[in-house]
Amino acid sequence: MTENRARTVFLLAHTGRPAAIRSAELVVQGLLRSGLGVRVLEAEAVDLPLPAEVETVEEATADCIDDCELIVVLGGDGTLLRGAEFARASGVPMLGVNLGRVGFLAEAERDDLDKVVDRVVTKAYEVEERMTIDVVVHRNGDVVYRDWALNEAAVQKVSPERMLEVVLEIDGRPVTGFGCDGIVCATPTGSTAYAFSAGGPVVWPEVEALLMVPISAHALFAKPLVTSPDSVLAVEVQPHTPHGVLWCDGRRTLELPSGARVEVRRGAVPVRLARLHHASFTDRLVAKFALPVSGWRGAPQ
């Protein structure tokens, strides 16, 4: 117990959900009983029934996670992506507990809270790195915006009545151009998110690659593309087309004027995820999407 007192866990929760508030209360109680410190944001603390010994911090910056060994995130995909922002900026691993619908970034479900607390207390988890992407927007030859994403950077149309005219480029060479609703540039982690909804392939997380997936393209050749992780993907918004919008992980946005160029490459900084299970991604995929596997016999013995 004494040894644990020097250990601190940062807790991030979607306090707009009653289930998240109750889950946060259970996790905090379990960690405190085991002698670990807990730190939360002041803005979330006001909605949580927290004991006095819980530390609160005002600023939502990477510095607020100083000395924390783990970020525990309770919520749906949006909350988990918010936690990923903290994890990338601080280098502290993130452990996600899914309180939403699918939650591919999550390592545990709501019913696993006792197990989560036990694994955190005993340090019975492993840490893996997930590839990110760096995003640069050019306008008239000048860099006007920089961002990053864990899942995807999506270039989308704004006007519902008009398509976005784009030209796609890979490694400095044009591939094709067409009118579309948008283009998703994704990581393997993001292959089961927006890119999946747009008809892209499911890519196992350990595969290092970049994806480019058209959304409702008006073209004969508009297939998803999978490239080397060292490739540079570019989407050029044609000068004669209406302006578009860039979304990074569905959280950060930028209006794209006509003629803008969006470049996507492998991110310099990964996101570290804490893992509790050794289950394969195949099993995770089957469980998350409730895929029909009855009748499977397995390899012959």
* Binding-site annotation: residue ranges: 77-78, 82, 151-152, 162, 181, 192-197
Q: Given the residues 47, 77, 112, 134, select the one marked as catalytic.
A: 77
Q: Which long-range contacts (CB under 8 A, 24 or more apart) does 203-208 make?
A: 204/281, 205/128, 205/130, 205/281, 206/281, 208/131
Q: Catalytic residue at 77?
A: yes
Strand runs labelled E in the chain: 8-13, 37-41, 55-57, 68-75, 94-98, 108-109, 126-130, 133-139, 142-149, 152-157, 164-170, 173-180, 182-186, 210-215, 225-227, 233-237, 244-248, 252-256, 261-266, 271-275
Q: Which residue has the tokens 């151009």?
A: 177
| Residue list, annotated binding site for NAD(+) | 77-78, 82, 151-152, 162, 181, 192-197
Angstrom distance (rounded) from CA 213 to CA 264: 13
Q: Which residues are catalytic?
A: 77
